[in-house]
Chains A and B, each alone.
Chain A
Amino acid sequence: MTSTLDFAPRPGAAPLPRMVLAQAGAEMRAMLRNGEQLLLTLIIPVLLLVGFSRAPLISVDGTRVDFVTPGVLALAVMSTAFTGQAIATGFERRYGVLKRLGATPLSRPGLMFAKTTAVLGVEVIQVAVITVVALLMGWSPHGDPLWIALLIVLGTAAFSGLGLLIAGTLRAEATLAAANLVYLVLLGLGGVVFPVATFPEGVRPILELLPITALTNGMRSVLASGGGFPTGPVLVLLVWAVVTLGLAGRTFRWE
């Protein structure tokens, strides 16, 4: 067996797509194997979907499942792109994983591309599971799937920027705490299951500017009422994405 090893130098980088797919696959497996991550990305969204659709905790126009499902889809995007990614990246930095990857032919843009691919891959699974559960509960979605895809991609960009901004500057433990805290606060304030209309009139304009509210409102305007292009939410998410990704790019520390 050992005779098959030929140490004679034969260096060369693999083609970029192969490297990106290999890294993305490894990151996806890591996310799906991690119990806490699964709790965050699948179990909590599904429980909220079932619970708030069944129990009469909120009063909305139309059926509760039609109201709750778009919010839960937005929550799923936030949990993977923001919370999960921030925590995972924070610990990767701590354990020297990012440093070690910096010594491989996979470039930093390549690594970021792989991370984005892995996040989008997990989101596809989340959307599929949530959609099946919601349909079983009588969900009747409307609207153009293209707008939904656009909102999910923009939401992913905005939340990834926010997550990487935290993971690239704070210590791993602080990132863990901050990512969970922000997740809970945004879950409560962003209209995921509690309509923003229930908050006092004065704070509503501020809440509308949160990325989670923009994503939730955008999803809801398309899915629940078959609305057209969600201009306002798209603009809000775009600004968040540009600002947070720009800041993260400037401040990210790899070690």
Chain B
Amino acid sequence: MPDAANTRSAGDAASAPAVEVRDLVKRYGRTTAIDGLTLSCARGEVTAILGPNGAGKTSTIEICEGFRRPDGGSVRVLGRDPSDSALKARVGVMLQSGGVPPAMRAGEWLRLMARFHAHPLDPAALLDRLGLSEHARTPYRRLSGGQQQRLSLAGAIVGRPELVFLDEPTAGLDPQARYACWDVVTGLREAGVSVVLTTHYMDEAEKLADQVIIIDHGRVVATGTPATLTGAERQLRFRARPGLNLDELLSALPQGSAAKESPAGHYIIEGQVAPGLLATVTAWCASEGVTTEDLSIERRTLEDVFLELTGRELR
């Protein structure tokens, strides 16, 4: 039977998920950073792992990258144990920071990374794509934070990997650099590369990801596409003078609607936002002699979902 199992796992490797994590546990001293986390990232998709600081994002991704050993549970990357050296050529890694000798020039480092691979991308063309051509001869320590991030991203993909792990790839980037990074992630996805990234930015997850996994306190609290997570529900938002009588407003609205004022003067109405709703709300406000401003119908954002699930308190 062990033989059969081995054969099966080798045969399955090609169809195994990019990443499969089951009941993962990681402790640092008395702190449990990851507490029974289970997730799966499909091949050829972009998976965004979202969570507040200290939720366990980096610990999870670094275990998948083989940098740390789990205290419990199982992790398979492309069907293999993360420590399997055969994965090194197939998986690209972008650390959250550092990793490059400070005195080494940007182009020199990327060429070195390329030399470790059999069929690398052209380092000069990759620098160009990420807007770093002018800085090819600049030592790493003299690059701006955003330039260092982009170089690190280039290093993760120069070897033409099947799977890339990007730990907060756009943290601290200016808008142009963020778009350049998104463009690369989109390009990777189109080329069939599996991407697993962590991020704090909801818009990033919403824009890039096929699957969003929200984690908090070392556990998965929600999983889904950006669309399923934000739901079909829509919201009607407007501003008006504070203290409107919401019960009265609700009585004019269809059954199952909800209304709240948060913060003062900002109103949100949730439920079946049918075409007639807008007319009903404006008519009711007019009858009360209230002027509405900034009236809009919006989908619930991932940020709303995120804050509902992980709370609003600072940490």
Q: Which residues of A contact B (CB under 8 A)?
A: 1-2, 4-14, 18-19, 22-23, 26, 29-30, 33-34, 92, 95-97, 99-100, 102-107, 255
- Choose one: A9, A14, A96; the contact of B97 (CB below 8 Å): A96
B128–A2 contact, CB under 8 A?
yes
* Interchain Cβ contacts within 8 Å, total number: 123
Smallest CB separation, B142 vs chain A (Å): 14
In the complex, which residues of chain A have a beta carbon less than 8 angstroms from the beta carbon of B93? 100, 103
B193–A7 contact, CB under 8 A?
yes
A100–B191 contact, CB under 8 A?
no
Considering only CB atoms, which chain A residue lies closest to B188 in the complex?
Answer: A7
- Choose one: B98, B113, B128; the contact of A95 (CB below 8 Å): B98
Q: Does B231 contact A (CB under 8 A)?
A: no
When chains A and B are docked, how far (Å) is the Cα of A34 from the Cα of B102? Answer: 11
In the complex, which residues of chain B have a beta carbon less than 8 angstroms from the beta carbon of A255? 67
- Choose one: B65, B88, B97, B104; the contact of A26 (CB below 8 Å): B104
Main secondary structure of the interface of B (DSSP, over half): loop
A7–B95 contact, CB under 8 A?
no
In the complex, which residues of chain A have a beta carbon less than 8 angstroms from the beta carbon of B99? 95-97, 99-100
Main secondary structure of the interface of A (DSSP, over half): loop
B122–A30 contact, CB under 8 A?
no
Q: Does B125 contact A (CB under 8 A)?
A: yes
B88–A8 contact, CB under 8 A?
no
Smallest CB separation, A115 vs chain B (Å): 13
Query: How many residues does chain B have at the interface if contact means C-beta atoms less than 8 Å apart?
Result: 44
A104–B192 contact, CB under 8 A?
no
B67–A102 contact, CB under 8 A?
yes
B101–A103 contact, CB under 8 A?
no
Q: Does B187 contact A (CB under 8 A)?
A: yes
Which of B158-166, B221-229, B251-259, B289-297 lies at the interface with chain A?
B158-166
- 1/0 contact trace for B159-201 toward A, CB 8 Å? 1111000000000000000000000000110111100000000
Smallest CB separation, B190 vs chain A (Å): 8
Smallest CB separation, A167 vs chain B (Å): 14
A2–B100 contact, CB under 8 A?
no
Q: Does B245 contact A (CB under 8 A)?
A: no
Q: What are 6 of the A-B contact pairs (CB < 8 Å)? A: A11-B160, A12-B118, A92-B101, A95-B101, A97-B100, A105-B89
A14–B101 contact, CB under 8 A?
no
When chains A and B are docked, how far (Å) is the Cα of A104 from the Cα of B100? Answer: 13
In the complex, which residues of chain A have a beta carbon less than 8 angstroms from the beta carbon of B100? 95, 97, 100
